[in-house]
Structure 1
Amino acid sequence: MAIALTTLIAEAQRFLGSERIQDYCPNGLQVEGRPQVRRIVSGVTASQALLDAAVEADADVVLVHHGYFWKGENPCITGMKQRRLKTLLNNDISLLAYHLPLDLHPEVGNNAQLARQLDITIEGPLDPNDAKVVGLVGSLSEAVSARDFARRVQEVLGREPLLVEGTAMIRRVGWCSGGGQGYIDHAIAAGVDLYLTGEASEQTFHSARENDISFIAAGHHATERYGVQALGDYLARRFAIEHQFIDCPNPI
């Protein structure tokens, strides 16, 4: 079965509410391909490796979290950017990208899906007074040590996380997938025992240590694999089309 590309886009936009969200890049259709869609390939980032895999998989649409045309980037279509766009255009494949809408969504969002993977019960936003803060806060069913929770993260995400260990047992958790290390002060203010994100900055260590909370950096890529899979699955079910998630490993 095939559906119109315009129909797929309209449903994704409606479901994610992406037109209401200000972002650092265009959300939705970034590169237009063939007008009919039978197969979606999803992945975290529209890298050359993912595009080549999508061509091999005979995809009509590549659906990603990290697409192109970010604010402040060089607009010239040269080098790596030229090769990526050439691959899409030569193979008549569309590129759909959703950044913040896919972090924020309460069902298929990266943060909601990460909670599901790690058995965290969502309580609410990390900072209810600041809508620009993307993260969430929640609780575990029982208190565990920081090292035990880090082992859970490693088992689920398949990547050894960086751990800064505080003294408290872990019951309340704050988290933000990807590059959310700057939200650690919001997590401290929220009174969590542990804050988890994808990346760490030099000052993150000091914030965690001096405020005696545990901190985990579990990988930008690793923490953002689940939202795009869930969105692809939703669209595939909605329109009875095919969906394949392709993970192109990234240690960062």
Structure 2
Amino acid sequence: MELNRLVSELANFLQVVRFQDYCPNGLQVEGRPEVRRIVTGVTASQALIDAAIEVNADAIMVHHGYFWRGEPAEVTGIKRKRLKQLLTHDISLLAYHLPLDAHTEVGNNVQLGKVLGWPIVRYLDDKTMLPMTVLPDDISLQQLSDHVSKQLNRQAQLLGEPDRQVRTVAWCTGAAQSYIQQAVSADIDVFLSGEVSEPTWHTVQETGTAYIVAGHHATERYGIQALGQWLAENYGIEHIFIEVENPI
């Protein structure tokens, strides 16, 4: 598939123009003009680039790319090494951040809900970033946390009373801990995200809305895989997802 067409189709599918983001969404590094094999991963790390080179990928597509707002502009150190490898091997880099979080078909939040068996009842925001579900039965916080740990193959951290019975859950992947305030306002029993901040503990203690910390990387593995599979099914591009382990 022609690279320019691929970028255009993804921009339309993910509705990139809707978002004011912290980084450029779409083509970040231009490589060869045709894309037959694409590697997907969570972050455009050196390990992912090396793995893509090994399988002779034409392009890499990630959730966390480069050129973040506020980062140093100089092309030095690890940034230089990463870009040099991409340019030397003529590999394109595409990245989709908030558009991939919010997408209602392949997005990180939708896909995490599927992995956890949580059908979306409604969204608590107008950007489809904060879904919620109602569990079929009351369950203890500890049981819910154990379920998350099992499904994500990663030990989740629970903030709240383990024996407390809960029914409603809201979530947002990655570094979305501030969304707990909207969950509190909606009287949600449990909020889940990838990371946690120091003030979150106090919010849990003072409001009664519990918090499950499931890992930034662990919660954002699934959207990029679904997007790669969408490309494979609709455009015949060979898709390879490569997992680069990250405990954060």
Give me the TM-score of the superposition, normalised by structure 1.
0.95
2:132 aligned partner: 137
Deviations 1:64-94 (A, max 9, x none): 0000011111111000100010110000000
- Partner of residue 209 from structure 2, selected from 200, 203, 213: 213
SS of 1:122's partner is coil
2:20 aligned partner: 22
2:142 aligned partner: 147
Deviations 1:11-54 (A, max 9, x none): 11111011221111110000000001111100000000110011
Alignment RMSD (CA, Å): 1.2
**Pairs aligned (count):** 247
Deviations 1:170-223 (A, max 9, x none): 211011100011111111111111000000111111111221222101000000
2:74 aligned partner: 76
Q: Distance in 1 between matches of 2:79 and 2:177?
A: 28
Q: Distance in 2 between matches of 1:64 and 1:139?
A: 31
Identity %: 53
CA contact 1:197–1:220 (8 Å) conserved in 2: yes
- Partner of residue 237 from structure 1, selected from 203, 212, 233: 233
1:188 aligned partner: 184
CA contact 1:168–1:193 (8 Å) conserved in 2: no
Deviation of 1:63 (Å): 0.4
2:107 aligned partner: 109
SS of 1:101's partner is helix
Q: Distance in 2 between matches of 1:199 and 1:151?
A: 17
In terms of mean alpha carbon deviation, does 96-105 or 179-188 score higher? 179-188
The one-letter code of the counterpart of 1:152 is H
Deviations 1:126-178 (A, max 9, x none): 234xx4x8322222222211111111111111110110124642211011100
1:63 aligned partner: 61
Q: Distance in 1 between matches of 2:50 and 2:122?
A: 39
1:164 aligned partner: 159
CA contact 1:42–1:63 (8 Å) conserved in 2: yes
The one-letter code of the counterpart of 2:129 is V
Deviations 1:94-153 (A, max 9, x none): 00000000000001000011111111121222234xx4x832222222221111111111
Q: Which residues of structure 1 form unaligned runs of 5+?
A: none
Q: Distance in 2 between matches of 1:135 and 1:54?
A: 32
2:118 aligned partner: 120
1:53 aligned partner: 51
Q: Distance in 2 between matches of 1:75 and 1:148?
A: 46
CA contact 1:147–1:165 (8 Å) conserved in 2: no
- Partner of residue 88 from structure 1, selected from 80, 86, 89: 86
SS of 2:120's partner is strand
Q: Distance in 1 between matches of 2:100 and 2:156?
A: 23
The one-letter code of the counterpart of 2:229 is D
- Partner of residue 9 from structure 1, selected from 7, 18, 38: 7
SS of 1:106's partner is coil
Q: Distance in 2 between matches of 1:92 and 1:66?
A: 20
Q: Distance in 2 between matches of 1:248 and 1:170?
A: 34
